[in-house]
Amino acid sequence: METYVFIDVSRKQEYIYRNKSLRDNLINSYVIKAITEIPEYTEDRSQVGGSRVMLKTFLEKHFQGEYTVIYSGGGNSMLQFNRAEHAKQFSRKYSLEVLRHYPEIELYISKMIDQELPEEQLSAENSLGITKRNMKVIRQMLNQRADLLKDKRRAMFRRWSYGVEKIGENGKPMEWLNKHNNEPEIASGAIAEENDQTLGKARRFLFGRLEERLREMDANNNPVQITTKLEDYKARNDRKGYIGIIALDGNRMGEMFHSLNEIHEMKEFSSTIEQIYADAVARALYHYAVRHNKTLQVTPVLMSGDDICLVTQAEDALNITADILKQIQKLSLEREAGGVLDKAMNAGATPHSAQQHYLTACAGVAIVRVTYPFFDAIRIAEKLCHQAKEALHHSTENEATSASFIDWDIVQGQVSAQTAYEKRVARARKHEHFRIRPLRVDQEAGIVSGVYSYNAFRDLVAELHSIMNKKNSNELDVSSSFLEKIKKQLYNGWESYSLLFERDQTNSGARLSQLVEKHFMQGYSSIDIDSDRGWIRHQYGAIIESNTMAKYDEYRYVLNDVLETMAFVYGQEEVVHGKQ
């Protein structure tokens, strides 16, 4: 009797990022991937070994020939067992094995048999006796049962400490941890050596395929260096001590996956997504490093399907993120037309609706100091990614689902900087906007229906950066003191801001206005009309949208994001304008 099993882990991020040390985060990420996924590549056995528990090796040892992998990736797997008894044994033995070695991981295994399906779902269409409709019902039932298990476990009360023990950096008693892991008698040197070996295996498991792709691009002198030490990001320039945390997530992935009906389709889709995203990261990193003629440091903390988390130098993070999003689009366009990917992207489309021809994703980038709590930085990056997705859904364009957005934030401190910004915004007028981000990456025009282009933003920053670094002064220069005045006046209202430009005698204000108009107002005259939003015009480096129906103006200060971000977009190397 065929039985289906779903394997998942809850609170993945809480487990992965629970420690301050990056190496521990990498090892935790490796553990989660090892116990929930079955890697396709097995050429080098060292790449898939080393964890105390691995789903693949456990299945091969105890249930060889008794199961079929329906899909695996993104932190979970779905298996089909030939007999209900084998599925039951697997659930008990494997959960116990994971609990024994990793008691802090919340593993969930749900299962169901064919007899539990409604009668109308049992008509067979193929040799497996599974119809397209059946697979959807099976997935739904397994997910629902896993959710019920999670709800029960979350209701449990836990006490980690009685307030008298020495507490470790993860907030739990150190004495308990040592006793549990039987470590008091082990010499510190031996523990360090074991940790180094585990980190090496985690590195090969997590980064193996990425490093292989990079070697294929340049076997002799690859400019991309993968590091597992945050100290390597400490600096050589003005942005010393800052890193960029990139959180990237695909759009409509769950919807596309659940539109598929057959096992071979789910396998092919999972494999295709894994390949496209890994290739996109490798290509973006390599081409960025070559384009800038620099050695690029990067740490892939998480690469699981469409879920990506990377650490880079702060000044590289934004453009690398945009490049990854563009590569995802390009690689998905290059796939063979009419395949499973096309079917998933356009599931539910009508003859009158627009076809989606490529994959899109959204990303958030948190630029923080190296010493900033890593888990908090991850949460900020993921919140920014979520805000980028909200921008996508709020877009008024017909092709909104086929768009990639990016958002970011520069965190100067854990509390003070953010609180100051919120206070300043609270004092501002209702129709004044100090951010133009999130920005759309796959949009050439500066502004379309109220959506701003990352390409236009990047080019404006590049040209202003070039002007500010000129050695010889001329009439086209922009005064750095004028830029500082803008930063101080931005939150004081339009009257104070516009008065600063009107009284400027250095010609800096006029030059800044020219730059904003050049990069964001293509196709618009100085005063033009946007059929969806009303009148739009440019003045003093700001975009003003006049709503003729409601009779009010919306002020968007383009220069705020530009000035705040400029120091964190380019490093010491000069970038040729237009070469991005």
Residue 183: per-residue pLDDT = 45
CB under 8 Å to 370, separation ≥6 — which residues? 230, 231, 233, 234, 241, 242, 243
Give yes or no for a contact between 141 and 116, defined as CB atoms under 8 angstroms apart. yes
State which residues of the chain have pLDDT below 70: 40-51, 118-134, 153-197, 235-240, 348-354, 395-401, 413-430, 471-476, 523-534, 547-551, 570-580
Phi, psi of 99, rounded to the nearest 5 degrees? -60, -40
For CA atoms 259, 262, 266, 269, give the dihedral sign. Answer: negative
Give yes or no for a contact between 298 and 227, defined as CB atoms under 8 angstroms apart. yes
Residue 196: per-residue pLDDT = 63
- Number of helices and strands in the chain (H, E): 18, 18
Residue 386: per-residue pLDDT = 93
Task: Name the β-bridge partners of 249.
Answer: 307, 362
CB under 8 Å to 559, separation ≥6 — which residues? 486, 490, 512, 516, 541, 542
DSSP 3-state of 551: coil
Residue 570: per-residue pLDDT = 60
Residue 267: per-residue pLDDT = 83
Residue 47: per-residue pLDDT = 45
CA distance linking residue 474 with residue 238, whole number of Å: 26
Residue 167: per-residue pLDDT = 57
Q: Is the bond preceding 103 in cis, omega lying within 30 degrees of 0?
A: no
Burial 23-60 (b: 16+ CB within 10 A, else e): bbbbbbbbbbbbbbbbbeeeeeeebbebbebbbbebbe
Residue 286 in tokens? 């390599």
Give yes or no for a contact between 213 and 279, defined as CB atoms under 8 angstroms apart. yes
CA distance linking residue 204 with residue 211, whole number of Å: 9
Give yes or no for a contact between 359 and 325, defined as CB atoms under 8 angstroms apart. no
Give yes or no for a contact between 378 and 28, defined as CB atoms under 8 angstroms apart. no
**Amino acid symbol at 120:** E
**Amino acid symbol at 395:** S
3-state helix, strand, coil in the chain (%, to 5): 50, 20, 35
Q: Residue 118: exposed, middle, or buried by beta-carbon count in 10 A (0-12, 13-18, 19+)?
A: exposed
Residue 395: per-residue pLDDT = 66
